[in-house]
Amino acid sequence: MDEKKIKKQLIRITVLIISVSIVVSALVLIAFSYVIQQAHNTDHTQMKIETEEYESRILKQIDKNIQFLTSLAKAFEVNDLTASTELIEKNLSAINETNSFVSMAYLSVDGKGIINSTEYGTKWEITLDDCADYARTAIEKSFKGEDAVSKMFDSEIFDGKLFIYSVPVHKNGEIIGALAASDTLEIFEDIVNGNTVLDGQGYIHILDSAGNFLVRSEHTIVKENMSSIFDGPYLSEKTQEKAHEAIANRESMYGEFEYNGNECHFYLAPIDLNGWYLFCANRLWGPALSFGRSVIILGVFLFLILLAMFTLLYYGYYRFRKNSSLLIRLAYYDRVTGADNTLRFDRKKEEITKKHKDYCIAALNIHNFKCINDIFGTEDGNKVLKFIKAKIEENLEPDEFFCRDSADLFYIFLLDTDESILSRRISSVILNVREVTQHAAYSYEVSLYSGLSIRGTREQALVALQSIKHNLQTDIAFYDHSLHEMVRKKSNIESYMQLALQRNEFKLFLQSKRDLKTGKITGAEALVRWQLSDGSYRYPGEFIPLFEANGFSVKLDMYMFEKVCIQLRKWIDIGITPVPISVNQSKRLFANGNYPEDIEKIARKYNISPSLITLEILEDIAASDAEQINHQINALQKIGFKISMDDFGSGYSSLNMLYTLKIDELKLDRGFMRKVAGGDDERRKIILKQIISFAKKLGITTVAEGIETEDDRDNMAALSCDYGQGYFFDKPTEAEEFSRLYMQK
């Protein structure tokens, strides 16, 4: 999956998780506040019901007392008890003893009257003016025919507050006076006292029209002494304001206050009596309250559910995040070095080349990384890779980047197009790595090589890299199209060579070796031809250098050696006297200590005398360990093989070599055959003559390669060269054809 897509998805999921969390939290909050709201509503309704119940009980109590007075007034009328003051006094004191009134009084409409109290006896002559203001107002109402209840007033005869009931007294259909009874608020206290409301959590108090407590339940929520609901810090300013307003408008209201950590509610309701109010207070919240407890348990429960849900959500999200970043890491990063991988490299390249058109891609590889892994182990190999990664990083400029592909292959994106600058920059990495690994804890020198493609692709950089894969002389190559073709062919050959060997596509061709004087065939050279499935041939120049570099030449040489043995056996078997055959042998064979025995075995297998076989080696072999080569040559000669030095004079040959290596034959490179433009032909001949002369003195026979003309033959013969080989005599010919042409009985 695309990194951007993964990141987008991650953002989407983050948003989703947050939204879900918000929605769930909101829903839980709504549900919770709904429960609380419901609880409040139930509580309000309950308070209202109970308050109304109380109001009706209070009014009933007052009504009972009024009815009692009214009945008494009727008795006064029917029995004409107002006829004399004594009669009134007698009745009042008798009745007063049987009820709970503080005092009872009768006042005639002229304002004169009599009062009896159980405690202080009878006062015979009182006037309306002697009465407290509120009492007088009530009595005057009764003079006008009303039943009245006074407001509270301070009594002179009684230590405390009183109020009175007053009813009119009639005679012959006319009001003649009023019968009044005073009472304390204690009658309501019976109601209010101790009797809690709302399952024991609430209390009811009676307030006057200013909010002062008239009757305050002994069991109050607020334990402190208060004379008014506005006392103390309990009601907030706002609630106080609302309460004042409600009282002024004689309206009921709900309110809240907090006491000792408990949330309390109150209901304030006017009662139809003297502007009084009922004040119902109720504890709603608190850990000690059952409802509070339920709500707290519910809250904790919901909180735990939320917590569990969020934990699960977050855990899922965390796993997803981790997996996503793992996915990104796996998809875009190399696990060994932590560098980007090619996928990410290509993405970055795509992005950056939108703004930078001038760039170069370098492919960087280690010579023989496989050996480092094989000899020192993968761990050390990885250490080397990490070290190279760090070195590349150090050499990057802003906007440049790199990646590790696989094994030891790195790609670097550079913002330069100048070949010399690029060479310098890459060389500095290569040198740096070489220097450090030479001296630091590494026990081997890590040598890098690099292929670069300016404004090109990774593939092109790789082609340039492969062109110098086995070349230890060059460590930097730039890509061009011819290189591409070459590398394509090269990799084609490499991928197909094993199969070609199995399919016998490598054919034996023979070219005759002649006696220069007589022209007689004295031998032949085995030359390989690769016959492709379409019948066409590939020549050794196209594949031998590659096989020498990749080691396949060892296999091929042994194969050709065997083919030569088979050919010799064929000749012998049909009774033809065979001519010796020269076989080209690559340098690598000599590195194998068993090489002489190996080829001897093959020769034995076909019962071929080693004297029929000459092994051609190239002069550059002398650059290797001469002692070891000589040792091998010795062993081969002991078996009976002859050794020939091929292409002598083509490279950096030296006469010293004739001395160092004990060879049997010297093949003079065909370069000697040609006159060089501007060169002195005489000098060439002198040198040739001397070489041939030296060889002869050392017992080495000489063969001139590349005899193309009669002149060539005559010249070489004149120089005393023994044999010749070349197109003048014949071209390399398919072995069968060669046999047909030259090897007849």
Summarize the chain as % helix, strand, coil (round to 5): 50, 20, 30
**By the 8 A CB rule, do 736 and 570 touch?**
no
Q: If contact means CB under 5 to 8 A according to the sort of partner, which of Mg ion, ligand C2E, none does residue 541 touch?
A: ligand C2E
- Per CB under 5 A, which of residues 608..637 are in contact with Mg ion? 616
* DSSP designation for 732: -
| Pairwise CA distance, residues 201 & 187, whole Å | 23
Q: Find the shortest distance in angstroms from Cβ 579 to ligand C2E.
A: 17
State the DSSP H helix or E strand holding residue 133, giving kind and residue range, or none if neither: helix 133-143
* Residue 507 C-beta: closest distance to ligand C2E, Å: 10
Please say which residue, 557 or 705, places its beta carbon nearer to Mg ion.
Answer: 705
**Residue 523 near ligand C2E by CB under 6 A:** no
d(CA 695, CA 703): 11
- DSSP summary character for residue 336: T
Residue 329 neighbours by CB under 8 Å, 6+ apart: 335
CA-nearest of 348, 369, 361, 490 to 425 is 361
| Cα 399 to Cα 415: distance, rounded to the nearest angstrom | 8
Q: Which amino acid is at 365?
A: N
The one of ligand C2E, Mg ion, none whose footprint includes residue 557, by CB under 5 to 8 A per kind, is ligand C2E
- Of 206 and 527, CB closest to Mg ion: 527
The residue count for the chain: 745
Comparing CB distances to ligand C2E, the nearer of 270 and 726 is 726
Nearer to ligand C2E, 250 or 731 (CB): 731
Which structure tokens are listed for 606? 């076909």
Q: Which does 544 bind (CB under 5 to 8 A by kind): ligand C2E, Mg ion, none?
A: ligand C2E
Match 């003559």 to its residue by tokens: 689
Is 283 or 670 the residue whose CB approaches ligand C2E more closely?
670
Query: Please, which of residues 403-442 interact with ligand C2E by CB under 6 A?
Result: none
To ligand C2E, the closest distance from the beta carbon of 669 in angstroms equals: 8
Interface with ligand C2E (CB under 6 A), residue from 51, 337, 586, 644: 586
Establish if 715 lies at the interface with ligand C2E (CB under 6 A): no
Residues 91, 97: Cα–Cα separation, whole Å: 10
What x-and-dash track marks residues 630-669 binding ligand C2E by CB under 6 A? ----------------xx----------------------
Q: Hey, which residues between 158 and 187 contact ligand C2E (CB under 6 A)?
A: none
Q: Which is nearer to ligand C2E, 610 or 726 (CB)?
A: 726
Task: Count the site residues for ligand C2E by CB under 6 A.
Answer: 24
Q: Which of 375, 373, 458 is nearest to 409 (CA)?
A: 458
In terms of CB distance, is 47 or 500 closer to ligand C2E? 500
Q: Which is nearer to Mg ion, 12 or 731 (CB)?
A: 731
Q: Determine if 475 is a binding residue for Mg ion (CB under 5 A).
A: no
Q: Which does 670 bind (CB under 5 to 8 A by kind): Mg ion, ligand C2E, none?
A: ligand C2E
Site size for Mg ion (CB under 5 A): 5
CA dist 394 → 91, 125, 380, 418, 656 (Å)? 123, 122, 21, 20, 49
**3-class secondary-structure state, position 715:** helix
Q: Which of 219, 160, 211 lies closest to 184 in space, CA to CA? A: 160
- 350-357: long-range contacts (C-beta < 8 A, 24 or more apart)? 352/399, 352/401, 352/413, 356/399, 356/415, 357/455
Element (H, E) at 603: helix 595-605
Q: Give the DSSP letter string of 636-691.
A: HHHHT-EEEEEEETSSS--HHHHHHS--SEEEE-GGGGSPPTT--HHHHHHHHHHH
Q: Which of 162, 271, 366, 528 binds ligand C2E (CB under 6 A)?
A: 528
Q: Least distance (Å) from ligand C2E to the CB of residue 634?
A: 21
Site map (CB under 6 A) of ligand C2E, residues 491-520, x = contact: --------------------x---------
Which residue of 456, 540, 578, 640 would you call a contact of ligand C2E, by CB under 6 A? 540
Candidates 647, 665, 712, 722: give the one binding Mg ion (CB under 5 A).
Answer: 647
Alpha-carbon gap, residue 10 to 388, rounded angstroms: 34
Distance of alpha carbon 42 from alpha carbon 48, whole angstroms = 10
Given phi > 0 = left and psi -120 to 50 = alpha, else beta, which region is 145? left
Q: Three-state SS string across 51-119, please?
A: HHHHHHHHHHHHHHHHHHHHHHHHHHHHCCHHHCHHHHHHHHHHHHHHCCCCEEEEEECCCEEEEEECC
Residue ranges in 571-600 that form contacts with Mg ion under rule CB under 5 A: 584
528 binds, among ligand C2E, Mg ion, none (CB under 5 to 8 A by kind): ligand C2E
Query: Of these, 153, 706, 733, 743, which contacts ligand C2E (CB under 6 A)?
Result: 706
Nearer to Mg ion, 198 or 565 (CB): 565
DSSP three-state, residue 508: strand
Q: Which helix (H) or strand (E) holds 559?
A: helix 552-573
> At its nearest, how many Å lie between Mg ion and the CB of residue 515?
18
Considering beta carbons, is residue 280 or 546 the nearer one to ligand C2E? 546
Nearer to ligand C2E, 288 or 532 (CB): 532
Bridge-based pairing of strands 213-215 and 253-259 is unpaired
Question: β-strand 401-404 against 262-270: which pairing, if any?
Answer: unpaired
Nearest approach in angstroms of CB 631 to ligand C2E is: 21
Q: Which is nearer to Mg ion, 381 or 649 (CB)?
A: 649
Binding mask 541-570 for ligand C2E (x = CB under 6 A): x--x--------x---x--x----------
- Write the interaction track for Mg ion spanning residues 668-707; mark x where CB under 5 A is met and - where it is not: -------------------------------------x--
Output the smallest distance, CB 670 to ligand C2E, in A.
6
Candidate segments 128-136, 225-233, 290-298, 720-728, binder of ligand C2E by CB under 6 A: 720-728
User: Tokens for 457?
Assistant: 């692709």
646 binds Mg ion (CB under 5 A): yes
Q: How far is the CB of 731 from ligand C2E (least distance, A)?
A: 7
- Minimum CB–partner distance for residue 740 and ligand C2E (Å): 19
List residues binding Mg ion (CB under 5 A).
584, 616, 646-647, 705
List residues binding ligand C2E (CB under 6 A).
511, 527-528, 539-541, 544, 553, 557, 560, 584-586, 616, 646-647, 670, 705-706, 708, 725-727, 732
